[in-house]
Amino acid sequence: MSQTFFVTGTGTDIGKTYVTALLAEYTTKRGFSTAVMKPAQTGMTDPRKGDLGKVKEAAPGILDLPMELACPYCLEFESSPHLAAELAGIEIDLRKIAKAYAEIKSRFNPDVILLESAGGVYVPLNQREIMADIPAMLGIPAIIVADAALGTINHTVLTINELRRRDVEVRGVIVNRMPSEPGILIRDNLKMIEKFGRTEILAQAGIGTGFLDDLGLRHIF
């Protein structure tokens, strides 16, 4: 039975693709067949040149999926998906994303599926629905990528609360951009995220180092 996680973040450029790549590398090296999906990509017309390409480069063992399944919406204008879609003369339909996800499961039967969000949970997909509606629709848990630095408690707990408000299970948080020797501020950030978010820090990642500790990942993969 597949394990699926919606990898989202507390904002744009927080390191979702980097962490998704580390997770994909982690699972493939442990022998789990792994599919990676990006429901919406903007700023290009070929998803292989975007986030999916970066993940494939870091984790070449992931499954080779047809691009129309791996990335149902790839839109040229670099913006929130709703605006990029409007400029392309279309509207993002969550049913198309759900159909692609279901086909990946039925055709490829992966052990692990990672769906990478575009931006944070409140990024609009169209005039009615936001990114958080994807895991809510699919009934899958989320992993949140958060920054280690000042301000992360607020951003992370708000993200957790919005997902839970939509009945999305938050499996935990991966803290990115961790320094090799975190000081009192960052150590306290992690403690307060767990306390006020009522969640678990699954792992810590050092930006650009390829480092991902796995203390909290061992019980979910």
Q: Which residues are catalytic?
A: 38
Query: Are 31 and 109 spatial neighbours (Cβ–Cβ below 8 Å)?
Result: no
DSSP character at residue 147: E
**In this structure, what are the phi and psi dihedrals at residue 113, rounded to the nearest 5 degrees?**
-125, 130
* Residues with Cβ within 8 Å of residue 90, at least 6 apart in sequence: none
Angle at 38 between CA 34 and CA 49, to 5 degrees: 100
Task: Provide the terminal-to-terminal Cα distance of the chain, rounded to the nearest Å.
Answer: 12
Burial (Cβ within 10 Å: 0-12, 13-18, ≥19) of residue 60: exposed
